């Protein structure tokens, strides 16, 4: 092995969001991951709800707003029809 041309091959830790820590070796001393074999539904066989950014929440808020607006529009339209 030629000197001073290779990256350092360190003891490395892979830390998952679920708390699982995997010890391995890498040129990086540590890595943070969002999902691993201990918590991925494919390996656990259980459905897991992953909503880190609150996207489902945001969607449901938007849906409620839209439905309210549509209901208001429909009500306004039915009132107009009654007047005419
Ligand atoms: Zn995990």
User: Which fold would CATH assign to domain 10-77?
Assistant: Rhinovirus 14, subunit 4 (4.10.80)
Report the distance separating Cα 53 and Cα 57, nearest Å: 9
Tokens 């390996």 sit on residue: 43
Distance 18 CA to ligand 1 centre (A): 4
How would you class 14 by CB atoms within 10 Å of its CB: exposed for 0-12, middle for 13-18, buried for 19 or more?
middle
Ligand 1 center from residue 65 Cα (angstroms): 35
Q: Using CA atoms, how far apart are residues 59 and 57, in angstroms rounded to an integer?
A: 5
11 sits in which H/E element: strand 10-16
What is the reported pTM? 0.50
Residues paired with residue 25 on neighbouring β-strands, in sequence order:
11
The overall average pLDDT reported for the chain is 88
CA of 35 to the centre of ligand 1 (A): 4
Interval 32-46: pLDDT, tens: 999 999 988 888 888
Quote the pLDDT of residue 10.
94
């Amino acid at each position: 092995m030629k000197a001073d041309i290779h990256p350092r091959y360190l003891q490395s830790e892979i830390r998952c969001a679920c708390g699982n820590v995997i010890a391995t070796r890498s040129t990086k001393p540590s890595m943070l991951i969002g999902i691993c074999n201990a918590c991925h539904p494919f390996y656990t066989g259980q459905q897991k709800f992953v909503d880190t950014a609150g996207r489902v929440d945001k969607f449901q808020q938007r849906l409620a707003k839209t439905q309210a607006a549509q209901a208001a529009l429909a009500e306004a339209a039915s009132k107009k029809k009654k007047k005419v």
